[in-house]
Amino acid sequence: MSAVSDFLTAPWEHVFMQRAFLVAAMSGIICGVIGSHVVLRGMAFIGDAVAHSAFPGVAVAFVFQWNLTLGGAVAGLITALLVAVFSQNRRLKEDSVIGVFFAAAFGLGIVILSTAPGYSGSLESFLFGQILGISDGDVATVAVAGALLLLVTLVLNKELVAVGLDRETARAAGLPTFALDIALYAMVTIAIVISIQAVGNILVLALLITPAACARLLTDRLGVMMILGPIIGGGASITGLYLSFSLNVAAGGMIVLVVTAFFLICWCVAPRHGLIARFRTAALRRAAGAATGVPSEGTSDPITVA
């Protein structure tokens, strides 16, 4: 028992770990909520694009000695706005537009940084996370930005779900789909920027997408999904921090490995949509088809708005 007690209490003896736990939990919860809308719309690529499009903003901020997080947020928001505008041309699919600006933004960041010698070490925390080095001010920033983000999500939830499920019907019903696109892209950008400190620019997509993907496997009800997503994200973040402290390994990478382990478990044992459940259902259908002489048919997995 003493070993378990030490494992649970030892990290809390350090102030930097207390800050890390707060930011990790908040980042996991925020990304779990926002990620539910991202997974619902099948737009995981936008998370990767926004995360990498923050790069030129960080590069400019580095060159001029400005705040790196603020620079990344501005660049991410600009890219998100451009994607929303250009995606209104339905001749091009959203992922094509995202791919164009994703590559362009990252290329711009490389060009800008090439003019500033000796930049690599200074940007290591941005690329790979620096959750153990955050300050009280960083904790307050994440808390305030996260609270506002969750409030906006609550206010716009029904409209975002309507657009995510059937865009054309939502437009016909009079919903401002373009404004809602911009709002969602901006929300994704802010969620990513405030989570970069936890896992870094390269790994932040996992925190945004994987908890929501786990929840999608566990339930067909959107309301339940948006509760399970942040629970999984926050729980995985805290567990990853505990393990990183105990094993003395990188915190960001361990958080991502833990949330990925959650996904693999859900993939196998989810009650209706897991691998085991699907094998069992398929076997029952084959048995029923053999008994009745009627071939079995697969079923779709619709999501229920509730």
What mean pLDDT is predicted for residues 58-63? 76
DSSP reduced 3-state for 221: strand
For 114, half-sphere exposure in the C-beta direction (CA atoms, 13 angstrom radius) is: 6
pLDDT band at 124 (very low <50, low <70, confident <90, very high): low
Angstrom CA distances, 235 to 23, 138, 207, 216, stand at 12, 21, 11, 17
Residue 30 pLDDT more than 80?
A: yes
Measured CA to CA, the distance from residue 69 to residue 82 in angstroms comes to 20
What mean pLDDT is predicted for residues 113-136? 67
What mean pLDDT is predicted for residues 240-248? 89
Instruction: For residue 221, report the phi and psi dihedrals to the nearest 5 degrees.
Output: -105, 125
> Token digits for 70?
């603020």
Measured CA to CA, the distance from residue 243 to residue 245 in angstroms comes to 5
pLDDT band at 291 (very low <50, low <70, confident <90, very high): low
> Token digits for 55?
């790069």
What mean pLDDT is predicted for residues 14-42? 88
Q: What is the mean pLDDT of the chain?
A: 80
What mean pLDDT is predicted for residues 139-146? 88
pLDDT band at 266 (very low <50, low <70, confident <90, very high): very high
Angstrom CA distances, 290 to 83, 132, 286, stand at 51, 60, 6
Residue 122 pLDDT more than 70?
A: no
pTM of the model: 0.79
pLDDT band at 12 (very low <50, low <70, confident <90, very high): confident
Residue 157 pLDDT more than 80?
A: yes
Residue 263 pLDDT more than 90?
A: yes
Type of residue numbered 196: I
- Would you say how long the chain is, in residues? 306
Per the model's pLDDT, the better-predicted residue between 293 and 57 turns out to be: 57
Per the model's pLDDT, the better-predicted residue between 171 and 124 turns out to be: 171
pLDDT band at 170 (very low <50, low <70, confident <90, very high): confident
Q: What angle do CA 62, 63, 69 make, to 5 degrees?
A: 25
Instruction: Write out the DSSP string of 259-281.
Output: HHHHHHHHHHH-TTTSHHHHHHH
What mean pLDDT is predicted for residues 185-208? 81
What mean pLDDT is predicted for residues 149-154? 92
Q: Please name each of the domains of the chain with its CATH number.
A: 2-292 (1.10.3470.10)
pLDDT band at 42 (very low <50, low <70, confident <90, very high): confident
Among candidates 124, 66, 106, 118, which has minimal Cα distance to 252? 124
Residue 102 class from Cβ within 10 Å (0-12 exposed, 13-18 middle, 19+ buried)?
A: buried
What is the b/e burial string over 31-45, where b = at least 16 CB atoms within 10 angstroms of the residue's CB?
Answer: bbbbbbbbbbbebbb
Tokens 């566990």: give the residue.
218
Among candidates 20, 34, 52, 3, which has minimal Cα distance to 237? 20
Beta-bridge partners for 221 = 304
Q: For a pLDDT cut of 70, what percent of the chain falls above it?
A: 82
Angstrom CA distances, 21 to 11, 17, 97, 136, 255, stand at 9, 6, 37, 12, 11
For 82, half-sphere exposure in the C-beta direction (CA atoms, 13 angstrom radius) is: 18
